[in-house]
């Protein structure tokens, strides 16, 4: 496992149930805490990690003998860290992404970065409605492991699943990755509404219309429509838009309450991927000719100085037609 944040640590603790697992983290205090106290209080307060999980501060030593590499770092650091690990990764080892973002500049998904940096390695994604803090304390959840090669997916299914963590397979890598990346922007929007006191009806409308936006762009980019109705799409969207544990919703909520964007980001110790991905998503929407009004209003709040009130006014002014149409 490459990464010592909340989700990376949680997944490493899960895989430790099924086989020897080593986690690499930059922070030496995190490494010591995992090895000595079997916890990571900064990111997973109150959770006890599997006692066999080992942590290391040495990246190359961590990956040198690994049969599976799991990348649990933020999207904008993904390429850099993978390049650092590359010289020590053995040939043909599967590389799985946990990151739900898109790379600035290249507009690549994480599996595309893996294929670019590590050609010949099976590239996949583990994604779904997975709040790390709930899973870390033993609450039930379901996820999706997605690779093009079904045989490898089925083998990795056994690596990640535990009694209360169900893992399904899905061949639609594009759809699974885009579902995870795109829903973060919709979660910021629902947070904005909640923070401004817009109500539960408003939240339901944003989630539903947001899913339509995600599906339109996702299908245009090669994803399958049914993927966006499953765990990697609707499932992940619902939990991210509804939970106070969601980082992206929390950013939106603070914006809805009138806090300044710069202050919100400065006060966070984990990355809200939707903030970084919003410009990339709008570029992709333009590239594919897809209308994404909700995502566009969120982008304007984050990067063009628009207010939450102006964002909702902009959505309300849009022409209302068939539910199958944008808007």
The helix (run of H) or strand (run of E) holding residue 204 is helix 200-220
List the catalytic residue out of 183, 260, 276, 319: 183
What's the burial of 319, exposed, middle or buried (CB within 10 Å: 0-12/13-18/19+)? exposed
Q: How many helices (H) and strands (E) does the chain have?
A: 15, 7
The residue among 315, 312, 317 whose CA lies nearest residue 293 is 315
For residue 25, the SS3 value is: coil
Gap between the Cα atoms of 156 and 136, Å rounded:
20
Answer for the pair 224, 233: CB distance below 8 angstroms, yes or no.
Answer: no
In DSSP terms, 125 is beta-bridged to 97, 146
Residue 180 in contact with residue 239, Cβ under 8 Å? no
Q: How many residues does the chain have?
A: 327
CA dihedral 98, 102, 103, 106 (to 10 degrees): 130
Active site residue 260: no
Do residues 233 and 207 make contact, with C-beta atoms less than 8 angstroms apart?
no
Q: Which helix (H) or strand (E) element contains residue 202?
A: helix 200-220
Strands 123-127 and 95-97 come out as: parallel
Q: Among 13, 87, 80, which residue's Cα sits nearest to residue 51?
A: 13
Q: Which residues are catalytic?
A: 183
């Amino acid at each position: 496992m490459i990464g010592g944040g909340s989700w990376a640590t949680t997944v490493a603790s899960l895989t430790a149930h099924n086989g020897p697992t080593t986690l690499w983290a930059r922070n030496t205090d995190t490494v010591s805490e995992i090895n000595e106290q079997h916890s990571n209080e900064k990111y997973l307060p109150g959770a006890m990690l599997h006692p066999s999980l080992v942590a290391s501060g040495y990246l190359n030593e961590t990956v040198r003998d690994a049969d599976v590499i799991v990348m649990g770092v933020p999207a904008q650091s993904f390429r850099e860290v993978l390049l650092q690990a590359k010289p020590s990764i053995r040939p043909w080892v599967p590389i799985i992404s946990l990151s739900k973002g898109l790379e600035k500049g290249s507009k690549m998904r994480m599996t595309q970065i893996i294929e670019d940096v590590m050609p010949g390695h099976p590239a996949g994604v583990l994604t779904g409605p997975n709040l790390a803090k709930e899973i870390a304390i033993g609450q039930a959840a379901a996820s999706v492991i997605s690779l093009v090669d079904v045989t490898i997916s089925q083998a990795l299914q056994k690596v990640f699943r535990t009694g209360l963590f169900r893992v399904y397979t899905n061949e639609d890598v594009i759809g699974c990755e885009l579902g995870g990346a795109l829903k973060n922007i919709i979660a910021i929007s629902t947070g904005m509404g909640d923070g401004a006191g817009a109500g539960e009806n408003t939240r339901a409308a944003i989630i539903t219309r947001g899913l339509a936006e995600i599906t339109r762009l996702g299908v245009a980019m090669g994803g399958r429509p049914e993927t966006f109705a499953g765990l990697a799409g609707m499932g992940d969207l619902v939990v991210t838009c509804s939970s106070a544990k969601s980082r992206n919703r929390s950013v939106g909520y603070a914006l809805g309450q009138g806090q300044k964007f710069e202050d919100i980001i400065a006060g966070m110790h984990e990355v809200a991927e939707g903030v970084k991905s919003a410009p990339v998503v709008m570029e992709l929407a333009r590239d594919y000719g897809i209308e994404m009004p909700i995502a566009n209003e969120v982008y304007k709040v984050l990067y063009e100085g628009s207010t939450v009130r102006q964002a909702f006014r902009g959505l309300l002014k849009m022409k209302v037609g068939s539910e199958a149409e944008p808007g």
